[in-house]
Structure 1
């Protein structure tokens, strides 16, 4: 039972859940504009967590006392981060999006180095960052879409990389807020606030044209809301654990590009593996392994 509560096991569960998001998002984007779809997903995800909040009146008082932190996390990790993520993913294939976002630990390591005194860069971390960036370049140059829609593909890639940087900043913020507010309260209310803000922000930009949608849309939205509620709460809980470093924890995200790409190639029509994608994936995985070896024996 201790293994089921371990940081490693819970991090793997969260990353596997996140890796399933790319396919669901691509399905949802066929019927709803990206920013509205993202806002709706996270608003519902936050609501899903409310029934699990024990002593709700007390927790509401805690939330009111820390409303600035909740708003900041919501804006940073939901409104801005996922606004970039959905917009970028709408411009690239699901597999490519999964692999670029999977290089996120590289960027988290950089953010943590400049933000946290106990999470500094080392020689191996620098090597890992270099390998990760090389992997992203290999994947990018290997995309067939570059020959016909290169500008959109490149913009999408840049937005996803910026999403990785914002994610690192959000992880550091949550880690620094340890013992300030319960993780379940932070995740639920930040998703409600961030999702609602993103949806309202999107309305004048994308317009509002509701139309009938098939069952697969509601299935995708329901699954995405569930996995967000579960994975983000797990992640916030782990970031609040004593001894867990932001960069070390994010190393487990190497699972995301592998599982996410495999799901996209298996489920989404018109998406298949190519040599550049596989090589880039292996290089990114190698960059994560370098960091994992560097942190062997440390907490987190």
Structure 2
């Protein structure tokens, strides 16, 4: 029964996070990108803060290490990731964005190799990182004679978002802080929202009054804040305890499938052959980088299954 529950929650999380890319594309028709991302985390941050106060005793950061972890999370995991992602999604499909974001676990291993010598990748792991990056090149399809096409620049922004998230993941794990993940996420969301509001003001992003009455804009903001962020992260916390980091990373490879289906149904977006090929390369890169952890995890799953 526990296995079925975990599978149901895993598929629910993949659906919430996969369809979130479609909600972003829908909302961008009405709200400027950085402001849209900031508003999302105004709401999600308050909800997550309330949950942290309820769920853990250690709901406020203490000391330099914990505040540094929150600062890194706010700037990289929330602000940089979402600002680049929302800007990039203005001119690329939701499915392409979701697939590029699925590179994050591969890039995380690459950053860990550079920043933490003890986490050095094996030669096969290094090959996996390069295979993943090749997948990005296949998706972006850069034209050497004109590298600044709108589509290439948009996908470049999404790649920057993925890199920011991967770097932030490595740095927050390496900081010597005992902050519960619920607390770190809550304060990072609130801090990241503040940073994005400041960036939005610096960019002079306008907000048309009609956006507040457009059902699509309100629905997209509500879905991203309540569904993908609040409910999604609660499921994520639960599965992280039950499955571990390796299995939960597989959400990154199921979510793009959801994105492609929902994007086709709602936005009439299609996925071209190059995007599918790039996704395949990124998935292969993940398997090469994480092969040992995956093998160990499946061994644990078999052990648990035989003991049930």
Determine the C-alpha separation between the residues in 2 that align with 1:268 and 1:201: 29
- C-alpha offsets along residues 34-67 of structure 1, whole Å, 9 cap, x if unaligned? 000001101211111233234589545x335443
Determine the C-alpha separation between the residues in 1 that align with 2:56 and 2:134: 50
> Is the counterpart of residue 46 in structure 1 residue 51 in structure 2?
no
Q: How many residues align?
A: 293
Partner of 2:138: 138
> Is the counterpart of residue 171 in structure 1 residue 169 in structure 2?
yes
Determine the C-alpha separation between the residues in 1 that align with 2:36 and 2:95: 19
Q: 1:93-172 counterparts in 2 under 5 A? A: 93-117=93-117, 119-141=119-141, 151-172=149-170
**Change in 2 beyond 3 A, CA 1:142/1:296:** same
Partner of 1:30: 29
Q: CA deviation at 1:168?
A: 1.1
Q: CA deviation at 1:287?
A: 2.6
> Is the counterpart of residue 208 in structure 1 residue 206 in structure 2?
yes
Determine the C-alpha separation between the residues in 2 that align with 1:25 and 1:243: 28
> Is the counterpart of residue 18 in structure 1 residue 13 in structure 2?
no
**Change in 2 beyond 3 A, CA 1:72/1:138:** closer
**Change in 2 beyond 3 A, CA 1:124/1:32:** same
**Change in 2 beyond 3 A, CA 1:298/1:114:** farther
Partner of 2:88: 88
**Change in 2 beyond 3 A, CA 1:174/1:14:** farther
Determine the C-alpha separation between the residues in 2 that align with 1:222 and 1:178: 35
Determine the C-alpha separation between the residues in 2 that align with 1:5 and 1:50: 26
**Structure 2 residues without counterparts, runs of 5 or longer:** 301-308
**Change in 2 beyond 3 A, CA 1:242/1:275:** closer
Cα RMSD after superposing both structures: 3.5
**Change in 2 beyond 3 A, CA 1:296/1:185:** closer
CA contact (8 A) 1:100 1:257 kept: no
**Change in 2 beyond 3 A, CA 1:91/1:120:** same
Q: CA deviation at 1:238?
A: 7.2
Determine the C-alpha separation between the residues in 2 that align with 1:230 and 1:34: 22
CA contact (8 A) 2:98 2:259 kept: yes
TM-score between both structures, scaled by the size of structure 1: 0.81
**Change in 2 beyond 3 A, CA 1:266/1:292:** farther
Q: 1:223-262 counterparts in 2 under 5 A? A: 223-226=223-226, 227-232=228-233, 250-262=249-261
Instruction: Report the 3-state secondary structure (helix = DSSP H, G, I; strand = E; otherwise coil) of the residue aligned with 1:212.
Output: helix
Partner of 2:306: none
TM-score between both structures, scaled by the size of structure 2: 0.80
**Structure 1 residues without counterparts, runs of 5 or longer:** none
Q: CA deviation at 1:119?
A: 3.4
Q: CA deviation at 1:296?
A: 3.2
CA contact (8 A) 1:113 1:119 kept: yes
